[in-house]
Amino acid sequence: MMLTRNFMPEGGSALTAHRPVITGRRGMVACAHYEASLAGLKMFMQGGNAVDAAVAAAAALNVVEPFMSGLGGIGFLLISRNGGKERRVLNFSGVVPQLATPDKFTPENHSVGVRCPLVPGNPHGWLTMLDTYGNLSREAVLAPAIELSEQGVVISGSDSRYFEVNEGRLSQFPYSKAAYLPNGGSPKAGNILKQPNLAQSFRALAADGLDGFYRGAVAEEFDRFMREEDGLITAADLDAYEPDWETPISTTYKGFEVVTTGPNSNAFQVLETLNILEAFDLNSMGHNSADYIHTVSEAIKIAVPDRIAYGGDPNFMDVPVAGLLTKEYARSRRSLMNHKRASTVIGERYTENPPEDAILAGTPSVYTSGETTHFSAADGEGTVASITQTLGAGFGCGVVAGNTGILLNNNIDLMDIVEGSDSRLLVQPGKRPGSNMAPIQVFKDGRFILSIGTPGSYGIPQTTTQMVLNVLEFGMNVQEAIEAARFRVMTGTTINMEERVPLAEREKLEARGHDVNLLGQWGMEVGGGHAIGCDPASGILMGGADPRRDGYALGY
Task: Give domain status of residue 476, yes or no.
Answer: no
Q: Tell me the per-residue pLDDT of 356-409, one tens digit each, with 9 for 90 and over.
A: 555 544 544 433 333 789 999 999 999 999 999 999 999 999 999 999 999 999
Do the bridges between strand 440-444 and strand 256-260 make them parallel or antiparallel, or are there none, so unpaired?
Answer: antiparallel
Q: Please indicate, yes or no, if residue 286 is contained in any of the structural domains.
A: no
Domain count, the chain: 1
Q: How far is the C-alpha of 556 from the C-alpha of 536, rounded, in Å?
A: 17
DSSP 345: B
Instruction: List Cα–Cα distances, 411 to 69, 98, 109, 518, in angstroms.
Output: 12, 15, 12, 29
Is 409 a member of any domain? yes
CA angle 160, 34, 379 (to 5 degrees): 150
* b/e 121-148 (16+ beta carbons within 10 angstroms → b): bbbbbbbbbbeebbbbebebbbbbbbbb
| Cα–Cα distance measured from residue 206 to residue 140, given in angstroms and rounded to the nearest whole number | 8
Closest CA to 529 of 458, 451, 474: 451
What pLDDT score does 351 carry?
53
**Quick check: is 72 in a domain?**
yes
Judge whether 229 lies within some domain: yes
pLDDT for res 159: 92
Whether residue 350 is predicted with pLDDT greater than 50 in this model: the reply is no
Residue 271's CB: how many other CB atoms inside 10 A? 27
Mean pLDDT of the chain: 92
Distance spanning both ends of the chain, measured CA to CA: 22
Give whole-number Cα distances, 363 to 317, 321, 323, 360, in Å: 15, 11, 8, 10
Choose among 77, 27, 37: nearest CA to 60: 37
60 located within any domain: yes
* Average of per-residue pLDDT across 483-489: 96
Query: Domain limits at 130?
Result: 22-245+398-414
Q: Which of 534, 539, 470 is nearest to 9 (CA)?
A: 470
Residues 6 or more apart whose Cβ sits within 8 Å of residue 3 = 449, 450, 471, 475, 476, 477, 478, 533, 534, 535, 542
pLDDT digits (tens, 9 = 90+) for 112-164: 999 999 999 999 999 999 999 999 999 999 999 999 999 999 999 999 999 99
Residues 318-329: what's their mean pLDDT? 95
Looking at residue 182, its pLDDT comes to: 87
- Residue 336, Cβ neighbours under 10 Å: how many? 15
pLDDT digits (tens, 9 = 90+) for 444-468: 999 999 999 999 888 999 999 999 9
- Round to whole Å and give the CA distance between 137 and 146: 14
Catalytic residue among 372, 373, 463, 464: 372
368 catalytic, yes or no? no
* 9 domain-assigned: no
Considering the domain boundaries, does residue 354 fall inside one?
A: no
Of the pLDDT bands very low, low, confident and very high (cuts 50, 70, 90), residue 255 is very high
